[in-house]
Structure 1
Amino acid sequence: MIALNTNYTLNWNWDQSPAGSHAVTFTAQYVGKYKLKSKKGPTWYTACEETSHRSCDLTPFNLHYLGIYMTRVQANANGCHSDWVLLEFCPDKDAALGPPAKVDLAPAGSDLDVFISDPLTSSNTSMRDTLRKIYYHILYWERSADTQALRTQTLSSGANLVTLPNLKAWTWYCVSVQSRYDFYNKSSSFTLPQCMQTEGNTPWWQIFLYFLASLVVCFLVMLLSLYSSFWCYKTVKTTLFPSDQLPPHFKKTSLQHLCDFPHLLSPDSESEQLCDKVTVYADPAVLEVHNPPAEALPPPPSGLEPDSSGRHSRQDSSSSGDSGVYSTGGSSNLQQPNNSQSSTGAGDFQHGPFDPEQVKMQEMTPGLKSPLLITDEGIVDICI
C-alpha cells in the first residue's frame, strides 16, 4: 500500500509465466477488519473489478484515517481464479505524512517571518484536522557561494507563523521546512529551499543616494514642465499672432468685403468711414378726392364766378365747408396753374404744367365745373 496523507493506492506484482499467453485481470476488495469477526461473515467491497492494471486507487472510498482495513487481490485468467492475497492497512500507521503545502518568507526587520501552510488531504482540507499534534521542523542557513562552509540552524514549532531570530541585517537566508508527527515517528520530506534578504537600519550612504536621486528626479520634472509650458506658449502665439502679415491691398479688400455685410461697428471705428451713407425718404403723399353724387350737389349761387386771377381767397376756401377734397400729406410739390391755360368749357380742362397728382385728381373729378386751382401754399380751391 502506497499512502500519503489520505491518498491510498494498492499495488501488487504478478508473474506472467503461469498464465502463458492468456490475458490476466485482477479484482481488488476491501473491508473493515472488525467485520471479519461477524458471525454472518464479512461483506467485501469491490474497489477494482477485472482490471488489467497492477494497482487500484482506494482514495475515492474515503477510508477513515484512524481505521484498520483488510484488502485482498485475486487474479483471473481464462475463467480461472487464483487465491486471494490479503493485506492489512491502517492509514494512521502506514500512511506517510506529506510536507507543508506552502512556505512563504517575509522580512521582519533583521529577522524573517516564515508562513507555513498545513499539508492537505485528498479533499483539500488541512491534515491538522486529522493529526492534532502535527508540528514543523525548520532548517535555515545563511546563503553563501561556498557550500562547504554552510552552517545550518534548526527550529521546531507547531505554529503556522514562525519568526527566525538572531539573524544578520541585510543578509540573505534560505529556509526549508519539514512536517512531523511523533506518535508513529512520521516525518515528511523537506520543502524546496526559499531565500529572502533581511532588513535593518538604512546606512547613511544609501540615504544620501536616495536624496540625490530624488533631487535629480525633481529637477528633471521641473525642466520638463517648463519646456512644455514654453512650447505651448509659443504654439499659441504663433497660431493667434503670426509673424507673416497680410499685404495692404489684401487688408483693404477684406475691409471692403466686410462692409458689404451688416455688422455692428463702434462709433470710433475707422472701418465705418469706408462704408457709404444711406438716406431714407418717406413715401410720397397721395391726395385722395371723393366725388359726391350729382343729386347731392347744391345749385350754384347766382353771381358766383371765378375771378380773373383764377383763385379764391383763403377765407372763402376755408369757409366753404367740406368740398370733398383732402390731402393725406404735404402738397408742396403741387404747382400753381397758369391762368392763360384755364379751360373755356364747363367740363373740360386743358393740361398744362401740372403735377401728375393734379392730373390724376382732375381725371377723378369730371363733374367739377371749374378747373382746379392750387395755391402756392398747397391749398386746393374747387368751384362747384
Structure 2
Amino acid sequence: MSAAFYVWFLFWCFQTNTAGAQLPPPHNLKINSMNTNYTLIWEWDLGSADNGTVSFTTQYVAKYKLRNLKKSLSWYTGCETTSHRSCDLTKLKLYYLGIFRFRVQASVNGRVSDWATMDFCPDKDAALGPPSKVALSPEGRNLDILISDPMTSTNSSMKEHHEDLYFQVLYWERSADAQAARQTLTSKTNVVTLSHLKAWTCYCVSVQSRYDFYNKSSSFTPPLCIQTEGSIPWWEVFGYFLLSLVIWFLVMLLFIYGFLACFKELKATFYPSVQLPALFQYLCDSSGSDIPRLLTESDSELLCDKVTVCPAPPVLEIHNPPPEFLPEPTGLETDSSGKHSRSSSGSGDSGVYSTGGSSNLRQQHSGQDSQGPLDSQQVKMHDMALGLKTHLLIADEGIVDMCV
C-alpha cells in the first residue's frame, strides 16, 4: 500500500511539473473585418514569457475538411513566428461564402502552447462598410445624391457578394438648432433625388449601407451640406442677357478691327499706292502678273521714237600757204601803178579775220575786180574761210579763229 502511494505521488509531481512547463495559449481571439479586409487579433499574458521572446503562429483551414477524419488534415499557415498579436488575413483571399477555422499558438524558447481556435464566415461575420463616396448636386429646388458602392480589397463592388445591398439616406435642414428634424429614405439605386425642398436653403446628407439577410449595417458617412437653388429673378435674367450682348459686341468689334487692320496691311504690301512708271508697267505681263517680261521687236518699235544716225561732219583743216604765196606784210595801199596792196595789221595776227574784217574784205573784193593773181588767190581763201567760220559759228555758237 505504501509503494502504490509512493508511485502515485511521483506521477502527480511529474504531471505538476509538466503542466507548469507549458505556456498558456492565446485567448480572446477575434477578427476585425470590413467588407473583404480581415485581421485576426488575440491577447496573451506577457508574464508567462519568463524573460524570453515570444512568437506566434497562425494557421487556417476550411471547416468542411474537419469532417473527414479518414484523411490527414493539412493546415495552411497565415503568419509564422511573428511577434505581433495580430495577423492580416486579407492576402489569403478567402472565399466570401465559406467557413474557416483559425488557430494561434505561442512559442517561447522552444516551449509551445496549445492552439487557440475560432471559426469565421465572411458572409456572416464580416462587417459591411459605408459607401466609398457620396456627392451632392443641386437641381433647382431638388437635390441629387450620387452614392458609390462599398468596395472590396480588390476594388470591386460589394454588390457582387450582397446583391440585396441598399442605402439608407439621412438628410436634414442645417440650422442653429442641433436637434433639427431629420428625415430618412431608402434606395437600392446609386442616385437618389430629394424633391420638394426649400429654395436657397442649406441641407445636409449622410448615407449608410445595409444588408438585411444578416442584419448588417454600416456606419453613416460624414455629413455633406449644400445649398439648394430656386427660380432665377427676372432682373437677374435680364442682367445676364445684357452682359452677354455687351460681351458679344466687344468680341465682334475686336474681330472687325483686327480684320480691317490685316486687310490694310495686306493691301499695302501687295497693292502699294506708288505705281510703277508707264514704261515698267508695260514690261509686266498683260495678264496682270507682276513678273517683268522681255521686249519683242514690235514692242521696241512702239516704245522708241525713230532716230536717224548721221555721220560726224568732217573737220576742215586749213593750213598756211607756202611762203611764196604769202603777201607782203603791209596793208592794202594804192601804189604808183594805181593797184591796191595788202598792208600788215601790225598786231601780229596769223591771218585770222573777224566778222567785221570779213565784211570789209568782201567790200574790197566787190570793188576791186581788176586785182592780180595774188589778190584773186587771197579772195578765194577769204571766202572759204568765211563759209567755214559761219558753219562753225552755227555749230559752236562762238567765234572760231582760223588760220589762212
State whether TM-score is above 0.5.
yes
Change (3 A) 1:16 1:106: same
Q: Does 1:187 align with 2:217?
A: yes
Give 1 or 2 for the bigger CA radius of gyration.
2
Is residue 14 from structure 1 mapped to residue 18 from structure 2 by the alignment? no
- CA 1:262 to 1:61, structure 2 compared with 1: closer, same or farther past 3 Å? closer
Residue-by-residue CA offset, 1:296-343 (whole Å, 9 max, x unaligned): xxxxxxxxxxxxxxxxxxxxxxxxxxxxxxxxxxxxxxxxxxxxxxxx
Alignment of 1:263 with 2:289, yes or no, is no
Find the aligned partners of 1:95 and 1:75 in 2 and give their Cα distance: 26
For the pair 1:58 / 2:92, whether they are aligned, the reply is no
Kindly tell me: are residues 195 and 263 of structure 1, through their superposed partners in 2, closer, same or farther at Cα, counting changes over 3 Å? farther
RMSD after superposition: 3.9
Distance in 2 between residues matched to 1:265 and 1:175, nearest whole Å: 98
Distance verdict in 2 for CA 1:8–1:236, change over 3 Å: closer
Deviations 1:175-209 (CA, angstroms, capped at 9, x unpaired): 22111223443221222333445444332122101
Query: What secondary structure is seen at the aligned counterpart in 2 of 1:120?
Result: coil
Aligned counterpart, 1:359: none
What is the alpha-carbon distance in structure 1 between the residues aligned to residue 119 and residue 159 of structure 2? 25
- Change in Cα spacing, 1:77 to 1:222, as seen in structure 2 (3 Å) is same
Aligned to 1:122: 153
The alpha-carbon distance between structure 1 residues 274 and 188, as it changes in their structure 2 partners (threshold 3 A), is same
2: CA distance, partners of 1:57 / 1:117: 26
Residue 251 of structure 2: aligned partner: 221
1:81 has 2:112 as partner: yes
| Structure 1: distance between partners of 2:62 and 2:255 | 81
Give the TM-score normalised by structure 2.
Answer: 0.56
Cα distance in structure 2, aligned partners of 1:17 and 1:149: 50
| Secondary structure of 1:227 counterpart | helix
Aligned residue pairs total: 271
State whether structure 2 residue 240 is matched by structure 1 residue 210.
yes
Counterpart Cα distance in 1 of 2:267 and 2:158: 76
Deviates more, 1:176-185 or 1:101-110: 101-110
Q: Which deviates further from its counterpart, 34-43 or 56-65?
A: 34-43
In the other structure, the counterpart of 1:133 is 164
Change (3 A) 1:207 1:79: same
AA aligned to 1:19 is A
Judged with a 3 Å threshold, the aligned counterparts in structure 2 of structure 1 residues 46 and 226 are, in CA distance, closer, same or farther, namely closer
* 1:152 aligns to 2:182 (yes or no): yes
The residue matched to 1:226 in structure 2 has which SS?
helix
Q: Helix, strand or coil: the match of 2:105? A: strand
| Runs (5+) with no aligned partner, structure 1 | 280-384
Counterpart CA distance in 1 for 2:296 and 2:254 is 46
For 2:143 and 2:202, the matched residues in 1 are separated by: 10
- Which letter maps to 1:191? T
Cα 1:266–1:117, aligned 2, differ >3 Å: closer, same or farther? farther
1:92 aligns with 2:146: no
Task: Letter of the 2:130 partner, please give it.
Answer: P
TM-aligned CA distance change 1:252 to 1:130, over 3 Å: closer
- Which runs of 5 or more structure 2 residues have no equivalent in the other structure? 1-30, 285-292, 310-404
Post-superposition offset of 1:4: 1.0
Give the helix-richer structure, 1 or 2. 2
| d(CA) in 2 for partners of 1:278, 1:218 | 74
1:32 to 56, 59, 62: 62
TM-score scaled to structure 1, two decimals?
A: 0.59
